[in-house]
């Protein structure tokens, strides 16, 4: 497995892979890999001849007061993990390589970014869309893999790829969970044991909501309230949002008639955790 820090190097690696007739899969990450990332890479490995992951903690998607400086970073650990699933190359640029001085071009996906995490984290999706566009332009992958845990991110990237005629297929991979149901996240390391226990209420509330829908409940406000009540029963949890929107259009819904995204974000001490489920009638 090769590790590259410059755009010129990764482009040369891609050029050679293409010359060998290889299809290219890209897994963009911010590092501090976990089983969820490894699942993205394994899927990429099944679908593509050459798999590249990027590890770049993207300053453009962090707001003031967020955890940019403290975001966990450990390239040696990440490289060891990526190698176990057969990743061919890691692209690990520095900030200056991606945003050299004088940089002033950004990608803005409208409407679907003004709700959920987009409302709580102004500018977040502008940063995500910009860096993913750059990664797509640098690596020119045939396929790019993203986790369903970041449900809104996947929809934003798919919308952007369609709207901007990008020649890449965006593949969504189901959320990977710990044995007790907590969605895997690099930010889970911020949780102390009590917060870790309280965080189980997120998945528990989503499962309960899905069960209510299966049992015939269609009122989005009632389902939302049920989720809020379950999470609020945990004194350590501070709800940022619990919302239900149509999926994939992210339109507000009152009655659940088709696929609906039930998404939530909850602060648990230093950690801001997100999770979601798609409700089917």
Q: Is 30 in the site for ligand PAF (CB under 6 A)?
A: yes
Q: Is 93 in the site for ligand PAF (CB under 6 A)?
A: no
Contact range with ligand PAF by CB under 6 A, out of 27-35, 162-170, 190-198, 265-273 = 27-35
CA gap 89, 103 in Å, rounded: 26
- Under rule CB under 6 A, how many of the chain's residues touch ligand PAF? 10
Binding mask 233-252 for ligand PAF (x = CB under 6 A): --------------------
Query: How is 137-194 classified by DSSP, letter by letter?
Result: HHH--SEEEEEGGGHHHHHHHHHHHHHTT-S-EEEEEPPPB-TTSPBP-GGGGG--HH
Binding mask 139-158 for ligand PAF (x = CB under 6 A): -----------x--x-----
Q: Is 172 in the site for ligand PAF (CB under 6 A)?
A: no
CB 85 within 8 A of CB 206: no
Q: Is 132 in the site for ligand PAF (CB under 6 A)?
A: yes
Q: Which of 42, 43, 58, 92 binds ligand PAF (CB under 6 A)?
A: 58
Q: Which of 117, 129, 131, 182 binds ligand PAF (CB under 6 A)?
A: 131
User: Would residue 280 show up in a list of annotated catalytic residues for this protein?
Assistant: no
CB 118 within 8 A of CB 152: yes
CA gap 130, 188 in Å, rounded: 26
Contact range with ligand PAF by CB under 6 A, out of 1-9, 13-21, 24-32, 270-278 = 24-32
CA gap 24, 10 in Å, rounded: 12
CA gap 122, 126 in Å, rounded: 9
Would you state the torsion angle of the CA atoms of residues 29, 32, 36, 40, taken in this order, to the nearest 10 degrees? 30
Q: Which of 10, 17, 29, 265 binds ligand PAF (CB under 6 A)?
A: 29
- Three-state SS at 127: helix
- Could you say which of 37, 124, 247, 280 is catalytic? 37
Active centre residues (catalytic): 37
The site for ligand PAF (CB under 6 A) is made up of 28-30, 58, 61, 128, 131-132, 150, 153
């Amino acid at each position: 497995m090769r590790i590259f820090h410059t755009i010129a190097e990764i482009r040369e690696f891609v050029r050679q892979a293409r010359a060998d007739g290889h299809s290219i899969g890209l897994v963009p990450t911010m590092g501090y890999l976990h089983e969820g990332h490894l699942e993205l890479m394994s899927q990429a490995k099944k679908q593509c001849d050459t798999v590249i992951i990027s590890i770049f903690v993207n300053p453009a998607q962090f707001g003031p007061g967020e955890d940019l400086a403290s975001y966990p970073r450990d390239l040696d650990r990440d490289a060891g993990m990526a190698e176990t699933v057969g990743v061919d190359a890691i692209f690990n640029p520095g900030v200056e390589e991606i945003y050299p001085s004088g940089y002033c071009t950004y990608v803005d996906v409208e409407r679907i970014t003004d709700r959920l995490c987009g409302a709580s984290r102004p500018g977040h999706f502008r940063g995500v869309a910009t860096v993913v566009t750059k990664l797509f332009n640098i690596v020119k992958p045939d396929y790019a893999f993203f986790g369903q845990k970041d449900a809104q991110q996947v929809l934003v990237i798919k919308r952007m790829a369609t709207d901007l005629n990008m020649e890449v297929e965006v593949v969504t991979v189901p959320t990977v969970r710990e044995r007790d149901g907590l969605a895997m996240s690099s930010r889970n390391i911020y949780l102390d044991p009590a917060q870790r226990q309280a965080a189980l209420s997120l998945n528990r509330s989503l499962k309960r909501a899905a069960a209510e829908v299966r049992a015939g409940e269609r009122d989005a406000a009632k389902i939302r309230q049920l989720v809020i009540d379950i999470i609020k029963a945990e004194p350590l949890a501070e709800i940022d949002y619990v919302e239900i929107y149509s999926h994939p259009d992210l339109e507000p819904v009152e009655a659940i008639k088709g696929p609906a995204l039930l998404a939530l974000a909850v602060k648990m001490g230093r950690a801001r955790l997100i999770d979601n489920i798609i409700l089917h009638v």
